[in-house]
Structure 1
Amino acid sequence: MTQSTPDSKVVRWGFIGAAQIARKNWKAVRMSGNGVVAAVASRDAARAEAFIHDCSMEVPPVVIGKDGEATLARPVAFGDYQALLDRDDVDAVYVALPTAVRKQWVIAAAKAGKHVLCEKPMAVHADDAEEMIAACRDNGVEFMDGVMFDHSARLPSVKEVFADAQRFGKMRRIQTHFSFCADDSFESGNIRASAELEPHGCLGDLGWYCIRFSLGAANDELPIAVSGRAVSVYDDGSVPSEFQGELKFKNDLTAGFFCSFRCVNQQTATVTGDRGYLTIDDFVLPFVDAESKWQLHSHELQVDNCRWNFGRHTTYGAVAEHASGEADSQEVRMIRSFGDAILNGKSNDRARDIAIKTQRVLDGLRRSDAENGKWITL
């Protein structure tokens, strides 16, 4: 059970870091129905003020009173992270800092009694991640990493397909691809190409989602071994700009992925059974729509002497769910779910467990790459 439960009826959020993704989560807090942004801290107060100003122009931060009236509640800006953590009117923090400094501030937040939603990858090494989780557990606060698709209404429906012995059969292979083509300024101007700030490069930024999807499809089981190679790196030779990985699970299930800062936008997942295979074209960030979709295929080859007919047999599935910025979208579900755990004092053990497993797989892949793709036992 969580020990730190706020006195208020909503979770009062503090944002640590003003990264671009934090703007999306600003709106998610507003749409969640159980949270409000109370404070924002950045490298300096002016940067935090600018973030609050820009976000407020599009999504004014409000608190809904018991009478149903909305009251404007402008967050306080800080140029010091610890000053935000020292406030009594902050219940939870969203940590959107570079990976290299997340450990320090997640542990500081836990010691301050703040629940922690942390951007991914959660740490540089699995040992660091274990320390972060231990600090949260020891201080009675919740921890979750910011994988939005984990909270999509699509995933439970897709898992029902995986369990369908007639249409899907036994799961044999998981394959994911997540990429975008960075511009010419990316290597010199973006922290995701920085060995000092984001040492895992595309593997941490994009591969984390591929690993997480594979673990989820495999019922959260940890692979027994992994192998990975950086296909290309940035000039310092240590930050992957393209990475490919392989995961071996028990029962002969395998998974593979490719992630890249050099290929066109693609977010595809294919899960193959011995009777059918399921495809998702947008497994990380759903296409703009009011539905999240997938396809199930069971194509059939018929051979009759000189005639070879490969018949298409595809069915389409969907759940009602907006892609972004609505009460039912996956990032809002993430914030709401985290808030519910805090407000109801119910610990989310799965959130901690799956984050650690993802980090352990990432660590194994980096070790494998350093040893020329050697299989690493986890």
Structure 2
Amino acid sequence: MTQSTPESKFVRWGFIGAAQIARKNWKAVRMSGNGVVAAVASRDVSRAEAFIHDCSMEAPPVVVNANGEATLARPVAVGDYQDLIDRDDIDAVYIALPTAVRKQWVIAAAKAGKHVLCEKPMAVHADDADEMIAACRENGVEFMDGVMFDHSSRLPAVKEVLADSERFGKMRRIQTHFSFCADDSFQSDNIRASAELEPHGCLGDLGWYCIRFSLWATGDRLPAAVSGRAISVYDGGSVPSEFQGELKFDDDLTAGFFCSFRCVNQQTATITGDQGYLTIDDFVLPFVDAESKWQCHQHELQIDNCRWNFGRHTTNGAVREHASGEADSQEVRMIRSFGESILNRTRNERAADIAIKTQRVLDALRQSDAENGKWITL
């Protein structure tokens, strides 16, 4: 098993898969300060070569030399996933493969002593996810799913607002919406409409973030029960293209979400208390800016005989954080945080635990949909 030593300054990354999102993480590794991309694997080595070429044009790569120093050099293109996993110059793998095949390669990487950052949703079923995490723990490697907003500095700041009894009060409701409007070729050409490759459709691709945000807002608690329905479907009726879900927690808190491949771009979250509510317009992918923002609201309805006044009382909040591609961006924080756990040999138990919880909620929502929206107890 080859891993970075405690004295290492860099995590040597291997990318498995050349998906579009991997390009963003290529730059995140480059900006992290503690990682380098050592190799990229694709079943077609020419695709790996093209990926390396294109990414290098924007973010010139570095590799670690024999002295442990990072120097400008080109990562290796590999035509076989297992060959990349077996390399001695890889400490961690980033897996950007379709959901249907992730389990195999997460387990293979874990058995080879490689730490795993995995795209979401992490698995087809929660049982598979349990096996994946078990393999990582048995082999002493870290696991994290690729939810970038988990690492935004906005979330700790928002948590402070939610803890303010005067501004927010007791949490009552969480509502999220994540959608984009796919083009006419999406259903026939995109793997997210394929039952074979991405069986969860929009629920796995978009709803994963909605579920995760709700769990985060509640302190990583699992709901007591969930109900879900696919509103529209692809691929013979098995792949959700629009989905709505409800989560009930054990203290009268509820959460709801809607995700869709058929509605305009929207990434909104609302958390409502009995004294005020908080809104985020870009909870997954921040708007282009040097700040991550939110708004707090305590609107007031005043009634005096024939006069009805609904007063707006809104305050703005923000943290300094670039939207993407800079050292303080959420995807760079994700890579850096993962790297710190590896280099310092500290366990990040929350990363694996919250991924499993998200998968369990997703599974229960699929079961509910199959049973016509029946409430499923977790």
TM-score of the aligned structures, taking structure 1 as reference length: 0.97
Cα distance change, pair 12–297 in 1 and its aligned pair in 2 (3 A):
same
Q: Secondary structure at the match of 2:251?
A: helix
Question: 1:218-237, aligned counterparts within 5 Å?
Answer: 218-237=218-237
Whole-angstrom distance in 2 between the partners of 1:73 and 1:175: 46
Whole-angstrom distance in 2 between the partners of 1:292 and 1:177: 18
Question: 1:1-378, aligned counterparts within 5 Å?
Answer: 5-7=3-5, 8-63=8-63, 71-378=71-378
Q: Deviations over 1:230-271 (max 9, x none)?
A: 000014100000000000011100000000000000000000
Which residue identity is paired with 1:15?
F
Segment of structure 1 superposing worse, 3-12 or 280-289: 3-12
Contact kept? 1:5, 1:343, Cα under 8 Å: no
CA deviation after TM superposition for structure 1 residue 43, in Å: 1.4
Q: Deviations over 1:30-89 (max 9, x none)?
A: 000000000000111111001001101111112589x99962121111110000011010
Whole-angstrom distance in 2 between the partners of 1:266 and 1:225: 26
Q: Deviations over 1:114-166 (max 9, x none)?
A: 00000000000000000000000000000000000000000000001110011
Whole-angstrom distance in 1 between the partners of 2:70 and 2:199: 43
Whole-angstrom distance in 2 between the partners of 1:9 and 1:266: 39
Which residue identity is paired with 1:223?
P
Whole-angstrom distance in 2 between the partners of 1:343 and 1:68: 13
Whole-angstrom distance in 1 between the partners of 2:89 and 2:69: 21
Contact kept? 2:94, 2:116, Cα under 8 Å: yes
Q: Deviations over 1:167-213 (max 9, x none)?
A: 10000000000000000000000000000000000000000000000
CA deviation after TM superposition for structure 1 residue 20, in Å: 0.2
Whole-angstrom distance in 2 between the partners of 1:153 and 1:245: 27
Q: Secondary structure at the match of 2:205?
A: helix
Whole-angstrom distance in 2 between the partners of 1:20 and 1:346: 30
Contact kept? 1:5, 1:344, Cα under 8 Å: no
Cα distance change, pair 68–355 in 1 and its aligned pair in 2 (3 A):
closer
Q: Secondary structure at the match of 1:250?
A: coil
Q: Is there any run of 5+ residues in structure 1 with no aligned partner, and where? A: none
Whole-angstrom distance in 1 between the partners of 2:339 and 2:73: 18
Whole-angstrom distance in 2 between the partners of 1:69 and 1:233: 51
Contact kept? 2:2, 2:90, Cα under 8 Å: no
Whole-angstrom distance in 2 between the partners of 1:235 and 1:339: 39
Whole-angstrom distance in 1 between the partners of 2:68 and 2:310: 59
Q: Is there any run of 5+ residues in structure 2 with no aligned partner, and where? A: none
Whole-angstrom distance in 2 between the partners of 1:119 and 1:69: 29
Which residue identity is paired with 1:187?
Q
Whole-angstrom distance in 1 between the partners of 2:52 and 2:64: 19
Contact kept? 1:13, 1:36, Cα under 8 Å: yes
Q: Secondary structure at the match of 1:243?
A: strand
Contact kept? 2:3, 2:114, Cα under 8 Å: no
Whole-angstrom distance in 2 between the partners of 1:253 and 1:182: 33
Cα distance change, pair 273–191 in 1 and its aligned pair in 2 (3 A):
same
CA deviation after TM superposition for structure 1 residue 296, in Å: 0.2
Contact kept? 1:38, 1:73, Cα under 8 Å: no
Cα distance change, pair 298–48 in 1 and its aligned pair in 2 (3 A):
same
Whole-angstrom distance in 1 between the partners of 2:33 and 2:69: 13
Q: Secondary structure at the match of 1:366?
A: helix
Whole-angstrom distance in 2 between the partners of 1:68 and 1:374: 56
Q: Secondary structure at the match of 1:37?
A: strand
Whole-angstrom distance in 1 between the partners of 2:285 and 2:180: 12
Q: Deviations over 1:272-299 (max 9, x none)?
A: 0000000000000000000000000000
Whole-angstrom distance in 1 between the partners of 2:52 and 2:263: 33
Whole-angstrom distance in 2 between the partners of 1:125 and 1:31: 34
